[in-house]
Amino acid sequence: MRPEILFPLFAPITSLKGVGPRVAPLLERLAGPIVRDVLFLKPHSLVVRTPADISAAVDGQVMTFDVTIDAYERPRSSAQPWRVRVSDPTGFLTLVFFGRFADQLEQRHPVGAKRIISGKVEDQKFGRQMVHPDYMVEPGKAGDIPELEPIYPATEGLPARRVRVFAQEALERAPELPEWQDPAWLAREKLPPWREAIARLHGPESEADLSPLSRHYRRLAYDELLAQQLAMAQRRAERRREPAVRIPASETAERIRGDLPFAFTGAQTRALAEIRADLAGGERMSRLIQGDVGSGKTVVAMCAMADVASAGGQTALMAPTEILARQHFETIQGPLTDHGVGVILLTGRDKGAGRAEKLRALASGAVQVAVGTHALFQDDVAFHRLQLAVIDEQHRFGVAERQRLQAKGQAVHLLAMSATPIPRTLELTVYGDLDVSRIDEKPPGRTPVATRAMPMTRIAEVEARLHEVVQAGAQAFWICPLVSESELVDLKAAETRAAELRERIGPSVGLIHGKMPAAAKDAVMAEFADGKLSVLVATTVVEVGVNVPNATIMVIEQAERFGLAQLHQLRGRVGRGSRESACVLLYDPPLSETAQKRLDILRRTDDGFLIAETDLELRGGGDALGLRQSGFPDYVFADPIAHRDLIAAAGDDARLIIGRDPQLTSPRGKALRVLEELFDWKAGMALKSAG
Ligand code: ADP
Ligand code: MG
């Protein structure tokens, strides 16, 4: 139930004065459907309208002058503008007006009248001018000109100045809200009350007030972070309250582990121990294993599956693509079946009698592990006793999809796996409702991938070299990025590249892209994995997937367009065996200094977490898209760099609050409910939650 005090803010934007059927869709696109969304618009700059002398005018700046109207110059045709000469004791300039109302100008602003004008000064060939001043008022009405005017985002048909008026009105509707923050924390951080903070957002007193580092901005960011962390902490607590079957560590899992041709790394051992503690604890597990591609997440999960099977339960391992599902299946099938744990693969390709038989085996409990894609959570798939859901690259699934899978059992334990490195500082914002195990150690014996950045102008060299190594038996990936607006254009680029390489290297060059049907993709992948193809040209479909140990070369075109985390993941496709591997990052010169630094990090380190952290710093939080790709939420106020110190504080605060007052019934708890509602981060709908 929404607290009544918030009703004015959750009213539709059409309740704002002047927002009618024409304006509403425009404002909605800019802000959102409700008054709260307009209140949450942020001015991006500030115009100071203190009067100056005309002689001090600066081209391109918004300035304000006290002037006298000198003369009118009528247009000779209706296509031409009206020109009005105005002056002050230090100089003159020309006002320019287009449009049909211009001919009323002379009545409203007669020659000889005094006016205050404000607008953008432009120095033109024919002199200094101001086109359509923002303001033109009589001196007695100078109050009509805001001395400090925050500038809002605008859109076609809805100028910034109107948006400002709506924002001001939304502000008037904003009530004083009960304080939800800890007074001691507010005092220590010198943060203002919410109402004061939001008022200052819309009434900045200086440039400094626009900075995310200003106190009122930090207050709003902290509110937002706390609202989100609270929702996550609640989900986490809720899941934990649900009792789940206790699953002890098993002999079978230990035997499987003992039979592997390698020993676990320390990080793998630690991760497995953490998972086992969860499984045996009697509460539902919600854990994420984070680690680079090839760091050994799947084999750790496999041991947990064996534990579950030994306790009489079943596991579903869900992957976002068929290729990935197949590889997981291949990784775990041998070890598990060798020790009596039955495994099936279920994908969209299973049809008819074959599929029916697999479904029967799952429903009867004859098999204990099902590996698959979206096919796993279809309505007619039933489990005998589903106790563990392992979800690979979980951010590729929607909350609803994950929930549909988990709904196939009772209090199903959740184990997510992700190879997308997230900087530690941001972990809470993405995975705040999960416990995280990091596998930050690579299996031994992997040789680092020699990484080089080269300009596209040297592509012929790269191709020639590739020809040589391919003749010597090596295999290579060649990645063509998705960069243009149109997938078709990108596809064309990949096709052209494949054709060109075929000319140089021969017929053993294959092409794989996102638009191919799954079966065709698998066929090409299989040819590559079998060594029938020596070069695989790909759009980014290999990003999370395939394991081809013989592939030792990775060429990435337009590498500067990728996020570092993505480049790192792509590079992780090679260097799987003990042989020397290489990664060539081709870029369109010239590289900006930042781009150069970014590519340089990849040359220097192979640590995905370090790469993610440095990338974040270099981007300065500017690349919202890159962040969103790695699951960073779409905050209004919180900034991953400027407010990084607040993220951890909000996380701690939220867990503490929920620990003490799980139902939010104390006075502060009630205020916190208002906060959650204000930001829409309600427990049931946290966007990136584990489901
Ligand atoms: P991830 O799921 O993190 O991509 P996998 O569990 O699939 O990694 O492991 C990748 C490859 O490395 C597999 O072939 C696996 O058998 C192997 N592997 C896993 N752990 C180790 C280890 N500790 N030492 C050597 N090889 C390992
Ligand atoms: Mg894997």
CA dist 19 and 556 (Å) reads: 49
How many angstroms separate the CA atoms of 110 and 304, rounded? 85
pTM: 0.76
**Shortest-distance Cα residue to atom 11 of ligand 1:** 294
Residue 332 CA: which ligand is closest? 1
CA-nearest residue for atom 26, ligand 1, is 443
| Residue 495: Cβ-neighbour burial (10 angstroms; 0-12, 13-18, 19+) | middle
What is the per-residue pLDDT across 556-614, written as a single tens digit (0 to 9) for each?
A: 999 988 888 788 888 888 877 667 899 999 999 998 888 888 889 999 888 888 888 88
Residues with CB under 6 A from ligand 1: 262, 264-265, 268, 291, 293-299, 331, 443
In terms of DSSP bridges, do strands 386-392 and 409-418 run parallel, antiparallel, or are they unpaired?
parallel
Q: What is the rounded CA–CA span in Å between residue 165 and residue 146?
A: 11
Q: Give the pLDDT score at 276.
A: 98
CA distance 383 to 405: 10
Q: Can you tell me which atom of ligand 1 is nearest the CA of 549?
A: 14
Per-residue model confidence (pLDDT) at position 683 = 46
pLDDT over 50 (residue 687): no
Ligand nearest to the CA of 297: 1
Tokens of 684: 């049931």
User: Which protein residue's CA is at the shortest distance from atom 17 of ligand 1?
Assistant: 296
How much distance in Å is there from the Cα of 472 to the middle of ligand 1?
A: 27
Q: Which of 258-262, 316-320, 338-342, 598-602 is least confident?
A: 598-602
**pLDDT category, 686, cuts 50, 70, 90?**
very low
Q: CA 391 to CA 414: how far, in whole Å?
A: 8
Arithmetic mean of pLDDT over the chain: 89
Ligand 1 geometric centre to CA of 13 (Å)? 54
Cβ contacts of 444 within 8 Å, gap of 6 or more? 265
pLDDT of residue 690: 38
